[in-house]
Amino acid sequence: HGYEVSLHLNESATLNNLLRLLEETLLQQVTPDDRLLFYFAGHGIALNGDDSPQGYLIPQDAMLGDTQSYLPMSYLAESLEKLPCRHFLGIFDCC
């Protein structure tokens, strides 16, 4: 069917690679006629924030207790909302 797949497993599922996917690859490749499926299977965490819990995805290279090495769900949502795709489906298999 001509699908393009960007697969990041194990050692390639780093914070930098996920950020590059969101900030460069998807922005360059996704068009208004595209349908995008974003699937993440891995660890997630919710930490108490100032107003409410803040959610994070945990990349492969995350450091325990260092939120700077986590991917904030709020940043992920903002990045995916910028994409001009016709349809979007996000599946998150994580805590």
Q: Convert the chain into a string of H (helix), E (strand) and C (coil).
A: CCCCCCCCCHHHCCHHHHHHHHHHHHHHHCCCCCEEEEEEECEEEEEECCCCEEEEEECCCCCCCCHHHCEEHHHHHHHHHCCCCCEEEEEEECC
Question: What tens-digit pLDDT sequence spans the chain (95 residues)?
Answer: 788 888 989 999 999 999 999 999 999 999 999 999 999 999 999 998 778 889 999 999 999 999 999 999 999 999 999 999 999 999 999 98
Confidence (pTM):
0.89
The pLDDT, as a whole number, for residue 50 is: 79
The pLDDT, as a whole number, for residue 52 is: 85
